[in-house]
Amino acid sequence: MPLWALVALVAAAAQTARNAAQVSLTATIGTVGATQVRFLFGLPFAILFLGLVMVATGETLPTLTARNLIYTTLGAMAQIGATALMLITMKSQSFSVTTAWLKTEPVIVALAAAAVLRDPLSWSALAAIAVATAGVLVMSVKPAKHPRDWLTPGPALTGLAAATLFGLSAIGFRGGVTGLETGGTLIRSTTTLVLSLTIQTGTLLVWMTLFDRKALAASLTHWRRSLGAGFLGAFASQFWFLGFALTSAANIRTLALAEVIFAQLVARVHFGQKLPLRQGLGMALIVLGVGLLLQSQP
């Protein structure tokens, strides 16, 4: 298995654990409060990771470049915007419909990365991405009583916009990592992670101070649980960014669909929930798509 594939799988597993940790926080401090926890409480751990990398490798911080700053800022702001649009879509649509729109991201990433970053994209890789994405759609989409809901202009546009922004965030982060001209893969990816979290933390602190002080105060009150979610978020992001340094954003975001499988396994083993035939078929398609993607790589 290629190193980038192993890195992406570790990131997906860590992100699944982070999502589980944030469930109770969402109920306690609200969606916005729980969302900013991954940035505010993740930043100190990212800085710690950077320090450990510098000690282990003996390298100094790479010199920031205009390309790194521009792409990292793009990725950071796109990720915040995507999260906001996702929440807006969920207010008017079911979770399954929202998920279906969001999981078009790998296809969007593949096409946009090929155009913007000149990441290589073969027809076989694109087909593999399409198969894996179809698997997520099969798992997420239940037969609708009112098919017209899928075509409601507002939710459709916000859902696709959220997927596009999530895709842009992946492209921005890869562009940020590759925009650093000095240093090894590990220190370049970790430096970009710290920069991204700094931008996101500063932006959300200003926003919440002005518009949602209650949620900000609540996240600080429940700092123990927030630290746990922050650590898992930073740990997952460390591997996402390392993956972006190793291969194209399309490869990483496609393999990230394994997170859906991990979530189903957690639901089956930990909560004793049965796996419906439709979801089993979707998981099989995801595994097939990932396998085809790995085979398509040189």
Task: Please list, in sequence order, all residues whose beta carbon lies within 8 angstroms of the beta carbon of residue 217, skipping any fewer than 6 positions away.
Answer: none
What are the DSSP calls for 188-220, one per residue? HHHHHHHHHHHHHHHHHHHHHHHH-HHHHHHHH
Which residue has 């009583």 as its token pair? 145
In this prediction, residue 177 carries a pLDDT of: 95
DSSP structure class, residue 239: H
Whether the pLDDT of residue 165 is over 70: the answer is: yes
Mean pLDDT of all residues in 25-51: 84
Q: Which residue has the higher pLDDT, 174 or 157?
A: 174
In this prediction, residue 97 carries a pLDDT of: 56
**191-211 as b/e: b if 16+ CB within 10 A:** bbbbbbbbbbbebbeeebeee
Strand, helix or coil for residue 183: coil
> Please, what is the average pLDDT of the chain?
80
152: left (phi over 0), alpha (psi -120 to 50) or beta: beta
Which range in 21-35, 161-175, 191-205 is most confidently predicted, on average pLDDT? Answer: 191-205
In this prediction, residue 35 carries a pLDDT of: 73
What are the DSSP calls for 113-172, one per residue? HHHHT-----HHHHHHHHHHHHHHHHHHPPPPS-GGGGG-HHHHHHHHHHHHHHHHHHHH
Whether the pLDDT of residue 28 is over 60: the answer is: yes
Separation of alpha carbons 49 and 53, rounded Å? 6
61, 106, 75: which is closest to 176 by C-alpha?
75
Whether the pLDDT of residue 144 is over 60: the answer is: no
How many Cα atoms are found within 13 Å in the side-chain-facing hemisphere of 120? 8
| Contact (CB, 8 A) for 167 and 103 | no
103, 104, 92, 95: which is closest to 155 by C-alpha?
92
Whether the pLDDT of residue 151 is over 50: the answer is: no
Mean pLDDT of all residues in 140-145: 57
For residue 150, name the pLDDT band (cuts at 50, 70, 90).
very low
* pLDDT tens, position by position, 230-250: 898 899 999 999 999 998 887
Mean pLDDT of all residues in 122-146: 71
| Contact (CB, 8 A) for 260 and 106 | no
Structure tokens at 155: 């939710």
- The pTM for the full model equals 0.79
